[in-house]
Chain A
Amino acid sequence: MRRRRIGALELYVGAMFIVMFFPLVVLVLFSFVKSGDMRFPITGFTLSWYREVFSDSSVLDGILNSLEVGIFAGLIVTCIVTPAVLLLSRGRLRWAGGVAAVLIAPAALPGIVIGVSLLNLFGDLRMTLSLVTVTVGHVIYCIPFFYLILNARLKNFDRHLEEAAMDLGAGPWQRFRRLVLPLTAPAILGATMVVLALSWDEFQITFFTIGDRSTLPLVIWSRARRVIDPSVNAIGTLMIAGSLLIVLLTRRLIVESYS
């Protein structure tokens, strides 16, 4: 194999990645800086912003709320979409394409449309906005992604495996318990983690459907209205840390679908 010289493409891609990570690096960096106004030169390092953030009840509240919504949304999406994917990817229904289109539809619209339509709905139903309404929004938002990811992984499910199980005497429930479930559990788990990551980060729908509670992104928003609030650096870093954690946990399950 001849060794590649560093050419224009490599430089370009390197530059792109630097540009993409640049803001995040800056944020994380300055969350540890004394002055906190994100200006060079750096005055000194400190953990005081983190101390302030962790003692702030509204931030802790935001984290808990985000987790609560994320976990519930993850559970709900997993429970309602998994049977549909199992059916669609292994059977061969004539209207499978149509069903898939309906399931993917929410991803074709920006968050504002979903948010606004739900706000309207809840208004007409005279429902008060709360974490429940937020969870509804997140569920709708995440269904397409859960479906796409799980469907992609399950498409490679060997149909002959089920035939072999049938041939060996397994009825439908036995096939599910002993064959389908063990083989699909990792993929299902991976897709659930993706829902968690999406929900953790979600803002544009949440904004319309949340009442006076706050999830973590909303905490940042309310502080970001002020021109510069240094504690946002710390909160932002925490958010990134949370996302990183979730992504790393599902690393093998998501990235494998590309190779």
Chain B
Amino acid sequence: MSQVGTGAPPSLPVAQPSTRTGATTPVAAVELRGLEKRFATQVAVYPLDLTVAAGEFLTLLGPSGCGKTTLLRMIAGLEVPSGGRVHVFGQDITDRPPNKRPLNLVFQRATLFPHLNVADNIAFGPKLRRASREEVSQKQEAMLELVDLAGYGSRRVSELSGGQAQRVALARALVNKPRVLLLDEPLSALDLAVRRQLQRKLKEIHRTLGTTFVYVTHDQEEALSMSDRVAVMRGGRIQQLGTPKEIYQGPCSGFVARFLGLGNVLDSTVIAVHPDELELGAGALRVVVERIPSPTSPGDRFSIVVRPDMIELRPSSGAAVSGANTLSGTVSDVRFGGSVVHYSIAGLERDWQVSLPAGEDRNYQVGSVVDLSWPRSAGVVMAPE
């Protein structure tokens, strides 16, 4: 059976078993109930519910302006919600100011205190709590070790590179042993190489410490590679919530599919309903997909995404192509992505994205005519947009 995403605003999720401890923990790390944020001119976040399990790495993914940062800041206490409650490990912290919440936030730009050096930046939190001098220096050392910046304690903030600054910001947040760590696009301002390095570091720290991470990003690759679960947001609402695999293989809407980088989204209408498959028409193309659980009838409209990694390419035989799940097209672009080759093929008045593993690639040149075909299981039915 092919996947069908819900497409509707999220329903109340069941408590998730913690993947860390392997046992079902009844108390969620973060629970948002009806949390919303309205401004004079528009709504930033519509009332939403969300549960983050203890020890989970959950990412809020979406384009800029979708409300993900506002949502995170409401959890941190830097924005006052227009409605709803925030619970952290069972405690209602909605009315607490940010300095009294068991959370810490890593900002998009490191936001280190310029008048303090690295070690003093890290020690900011502990010093506020009047930690002893030995305790403070102990923690400083431990944190610098954790983020691979041992020996950088006496450096000035202005001497740090972007990546180093973010690591200090991370250390500064983690030294307070927050129960939940919030991260607001911390890597978006960094170079690719540094970003990859820090992504690995973040995952490592997450594994080591077991702290719950709530992460915000607009980079779908980052979200899919790092998270336990991803919440795709758009226009102040969560469109889909699930594991990376779930949402990649079963996007619930054209928006989610496109945002995840899945091309090949078609508007289609049901032509015929068969016992084990569904026949749809998208313009001149006939598409056959596996039957979906919900009842459908001819004339119903759906969005379909054809997964680029499941399309086969063959050199065109020259004969006209007929049949379902197949068409002819001309290669318009080739991009090498390391272990994968991405083709853009123009066919039937649209651009098709096809990704072939490098080993199976037959080196099609731009301009060559090819036949595309895919199995029934390659098509994912989504709600119409």
- Most chain A beta carbons < 10 A, residue from B77, B100, B103, B113: B113
Complex CA distance for A169 and B97, rounded to whole angstroms: 9
A-contacting 9-mer, from B29-37, B42-50, B124-132, B347-355: B124-132
Asked whether B99 lies within 8 Å of A166 as measured between CB atoms, the reply is yes
B11, CB-defined interface residue at 8 Å: no
Asked whether B113 lies within 8 Å of A167 as measured between CB atoms, the reply is no
A114 to chain B, nearest CB (A): 38
Asked whether A183 lies within 8 Å of B78 as measured between CB atoms, the reply is no
B275, CB-defined interface residue at 8 Å: no
CB under 8 Å from chain A, chain B span 221-253: none
CB-defined contacts of A165 to chain B, threshold 8 Å: 113, 124
Complex CA distance for A182 and B115, rounded to whole angstroms: 7
Of the candidates B76, B78, B176, the one whose C-beta lies within 8 Å of that of A169 is B176
B107, CB-defined interface residue at 8 Å: yes
CB-defined contacts of A160 to chain B, threshold 8 Å: 107, 109, 111
B293, CB-defined interface residue at 8 Å: no
Complex CA distance for A179 and B76, rounded to whole angstroms: 20
Number of interface residues of A (CB under 8 A): 17
A120, CB-defined interface residue at 8 Å: no
B-contacting 9-mer, from A10-18, A70-78, A170-178, A244-252: A170-178
A52, CB-defined interface residue at 8 Å: no
Indicate with 1 or 0, residue by residue over B100-136, a CB within 8 angstroms of chain A CB atoms.
1001110101010111000000001100110000000
Known pairs A169-B129, A174-B128; A164 contacts B113 (CB<8 A): yes
Known pairs A163-B78, A164-B111; A170 contacts B128 (CB<8 A): yes
Asked whether B99 lies within 8 Å of A168 as measured between CB atoms, the reply is yes
Known pairs A166-B78, A167-B78, A167-B105; A179 contacts B97 (CB<8 A): no
Complex CA distance for A179 and B128, rounded to whole angstroms: 12
Complex CA distance for A160 and B185, rounded to whole angstroms: 14
CB-defined contacts of B99 to chain A, threshold 8 Å: 166-171
A56, CB-defined interface residue at 8 Å: no
Known pairs A160-B109, A174-B128, A178-B124; A167 contacts B98 (CB<8 A): yes
Complex CA distance for A160 and B104, rounded to whole angstroms: 14
Of the candidates A163, A169, A182, A183, the one whose C-beta lies within 8 Å of that of B125 is A169
B342, CB-defined interface residue at 8 Å: no
CB under 8 Å from chain B, chain A span 144-167: 158, 160-161, 163-167
Mostly helix, strand, loop or mixed at chain A's interface? helix
Complex CA distance for A178 and B127, rounded to whole angstroms: 10
Of the candidates B98, B173, B176, the one whose C-beta lies within 8 Å of that of A163 is B98
Indicate with 1 or 0, residue by residue over B62-79, a CB within 8 angstroms of chain A CB atoms.
000000000000001110
CB-defined contacts of B77 to chain A, threshold 8 Å: 166-167
Complex CA distance for A163 and B114, rounded to whole angstroms: 14
CB-defined contacts of B111 to chain A, threshold 8 Å: 158, 160-161, 163-164
Residue of B nearest to A186 (CB): B115
Residue of A nearest to B128 (CB): A169
A20 to chain B, nearest CB (A): 37
A115 to chain B, nearest CB (A): 42
Complex CA distance for A258 and B76, rounded to whole angstroms: 37
CB-defined contacts of A164 to chain B, threshold 8 Å: 105, 107, 111, 113
Asked whether A183 lies within 8 Å of B128 as measured between CB atoms, the reply is no
Asked whether B113 lies within 8 Å of A179 as measured between CB atoms, the reply is yes
Residue of B nearest to A179 (CB): B113
Of the candidates B97, B109, B128, the one whose C-beta lies within 8 Å of that of A168 is B128
CB-defined contacts of B103 to chain A, threshold 8 Å: 167
CB under 8 Å from chain B, chain A span 3-31: none
B74 to chain A, nearest CB (A): 13
Known: A167-B78, A168-B172. 4 other contacts (CB 8 A): A167-B77, A168-B176, A171-B99, A174-B128
A-B contact list, 9 entries, CB within 8 Å: A160-B109, A163-B98, A163-B107, A164-B105, A167-B76, A168-B99, A168-B124, A170-B128, A183-B115
A-B pairs with the 3 shortest C-beta distances? A168-B125, A166-B98, A160-B111
Residues in chain A within 8 A of chain B (CB atoms): 158, 160-161, 163-171, 174, 178-179, 182-183
